Structure 1
Amino acid sequence: MKQVVLRLLTAAIIIFSPITFSKYSPEVQLAKVYTEQKPVDHYLVSEKYDGVRAIWDGESLKTRSGNIIHAPKWFTAVLPNRWLDGELWAGYNNFSFVSSLVRRKVPNHENWQQVHYLIFDAPDPQLSFEQRFSKYQRLVNGLHSIHIKPIPQYQFSTKTELDAFFNQVLARGGEGVILHEKNANHRAGRTAQVLKYKPIFDAEAIVIAHVPGKGKYQGMMGSITVKTMEGVTFNIGTGFSDEQRQSPPPIGSTITFQYQGFTKYGKPRFASFLRIRSQI
């Protein structure tokens, strides 16, 4: 009986105590798409940085899936013994640069000098996001680090004000904004308490090849290679139904695809198949 009570008490401590150690870490929050779910003044708004998601668990830096990021010790030495959530970022259009650093098991100290750890949350199930923002801003500013910075949050009263900020972010090369519901507590997984507001464009391209699928798409089309009217070639592997993978857009046909801006190499980012363009 005593052992059962102790186990129950231990479980209660894990659930209700503020999170400070990696073994009690929460799963990360994932954003849904902003579609004006609530009035703008319900949210705190920040720029969405195009970096690599990085979780500091109080002891080590990890990717969203839990893999260790082998950052230099000097980079993480000042970080506190508590959970932080943020982005490793090295400037606009430098996602590939940061991604390559994160995959290395031996850190490139010179290249890491260009990286910033931009903090946007200090997960704690007992605090609202507005309270967590106040906490992480005070905590990170107190580190006095040139590499670790808090992401500022802004409050807007109208959609017009939000769009003005959104357009400012896009004008300087950003990819969009994030809206955190001010009064929401941290909740693991994909949640409408965190929303991403990003531009989605569409364009047309000609199908020039079919790439065979692998794994669950074995025997079907895995992706198509297309060429835009400007001569840019790239692959599109998402947006297709299984039926479309079995009977893909014919080579030579024109398709419409959606994308979210461009990479530093001028290729559409996050391209997704939309439809075959009808011949008029």
Structure 2
Amino acid sequence: MIGRRRLLWASLLALAAGRPAQAAPPALMLAEVYRQGIALDDYWVSEKYDGLRGYWDGKRLWTRGGEPVAAPAWFTAGLPATPMDGELWAGRGRFELATSTVRSRTPNDTAWREIKFMVFDLPAQPGDFTARLAVLRKLLPLTAAPWVLPVAQQRATTHAALKALMDKTVKMGGEGLMLHRGASMYRGERNTDLLKLKPYDDAEARVIGHVPGKGRHVGRLGALLVEMPTGQRFKLGGGFTDAQRDDPPAIGQQVTYRYNGTNASGLPRFARFLRVRGDTAP
């Protein structure tokens, strides 16, 4: 009964806001953090694109959070019936453009011309990742939709080479690297078959409250009270611009924060706000 009531309220609120009701999030493979010492023999490595996760189910495009993407008809017209997992990306250093474009309920044709769908996996394709990658390379790119591209993959070698590639990627404006284990099947869960390597740790938490500011921040946000997937809560007070303190993330939204390791209780050390996760709604 509670689940039905929540779904009904979500639908009513969505209609009131003038947007479609959110569907159940697609079961996507999520990454763990790469740590030195992991055997790299069977991993493929690619750039980590700083965009929004996009899932094409063969008929429609969805965000990771289960919201339909209001892309122009021409953007999806040439896509195959094959489900595809990838990143809706506007280029290095253009995350805000990608977010505003993909999240808009009314597609901006000019802005969508800047978006590419960088595909890195085929969730419904049988076989391990190496086999799926071979099929993906034959499927893409598409003449009818040149903005849909396969993510370039290369074999990982050593930790030192991986670190050098990450540094080079970050210097060029990239976010980091992703590693896919070649022998892995597609599993819609977080696991070590998919790893991310960035120059800092980051994680996500849900906003559950606003802490009023003090001193020069009186009258606006002092910190966000957030809840981790583990249920642990902490105050996230650093990393905000003045504009973000004046108009903070809404309660219920997912935010990404960066941090430097964890303490004995599992809470992040020196956590700083990074951004609102673009594929979720409050």
TM range (shorter): 0.5 to 0.7
- Cα gap change, 1:215 to 1:47, in 2 (>3 Å): closer
Q: For residues 119-138 of structure 1, what are the structure 2 equivalents within 5 Å?
A: 119-124=119-124, 126-138=126-138
Q: CA RMSD in A?
A: 3.7
Q: Name the counterpart of 2:270.
A: 257
Query: Aligned equivalents of 2:173 and 2:129: distance in 1?
Result: 27
Instruction: Give yes or no for contact 2:75–2:145 (8 Å, CA) kept in 1.
Output: no
- The answer to whether structure 1 residue 33 and structure 2 residue 41 are counterparts is no
**Compared CA separation, residues 149 and 35, structure 1 to 2 (3 A):** same
Give yes or no for contact 1:44–1:179 (8 Å, CA) kept in 2: yes
Displacement of 1:152? 0.7
Amino acid at match of 2:104: R
Q: Given the superposition, is the C-alpha separation of residues 227 and 198 from structure 1 closer, same or farther in structure 2, using an over 3 Å criterion?
A: closer
Change (3 A) 1:73 1:197: same
Alpha-carbon shift at residue 221 of structure 1 (Å)? 7.9
Displacement of 1:198 in angstroms is: 0.5
1:31 partner amino acid? A
CA contact 1:92–1:173 (8 Å) conserved in 2: yes
Give, in angstroms, the shift of residue 67 of structure 1.
Answer: 1.0
Rounded to whole Å, the distance in 2 between the matches of 1:213 and 1:165 is 36
Aligned partner of 2:66: which letter? G
Structure 2, unpaired ranges of 5+: 1-24, 203-213, 250-254, 277-282
How is 1:75-86 mapped onto 2 (pairs within 5 angstroms)?
75-86=75-86
What residue is the counterpart of 1:190 in the other structure? 190
The answer on whether the counterparts of 1:49 and 1:175 sit within 8 Å (CA) in structure 2 is yes
Show the counterpart of 1:181. 181
- 1:224 counterpart residue number: 237
In the TM superposition, 1:55-204 aligns within 5 A as 55-124=55-124, 126-143=126-143, 145-200=145-200
Report the CA distance between 1:41 and its aligned residue: 2.3
- Residue 49 of structure 1 and its aligned partner are, at CA, apart by 0.3
Identity of aligned residues (%): 32
* Cα deviation 1:187-222 (Å, max 9, x = unaligned): 1110110000011189xxxx9553475999xxx985
Deviation at 1:126, TM superposition (A): 2.8
Q: CA deviation at 1:88?
A: 0.7
Measure the CA separation in 2 of the matches of 1:115 and 1:38. 34
* Ranges of 4+ aligned residues in structure 1 off by more than 6 Å: 231-241
Task: Return the TM-score normalized by structure 1.
Answer: 0.67
Distance (whole Å) between structure 1 residues aligned to residue 243 and residue 106 of structure 2? 35
Contact 2:60 2:68 in 1 (8 A): yes
Report the equivalent of 1:17: none
Contact in 2 for aligned 1:26/1:123 (Cα 8 Å): no
- Distance in 2, Cα, partners of 1:110 & 1:227: 30
SS for the counterpart of 2:32 is strand
Amino acid at match of 1:161: A
Please list every run of 5 or more consecutive structure 1 residues that lacks an aligned counterpart in the other structure.
Answer: 1-24, 246-255, 260-267, 272-280
Partner Cα distance (2:244, 2:169) in 1 = 28
AA of the residue aligned to 2:57: D
TM-score with structure 2 length normalisation? 0.66
Provide the secondary structure at the position in 1 that maps to 2:140.
helix
Select the structure of larger CA radius of gyration: 1
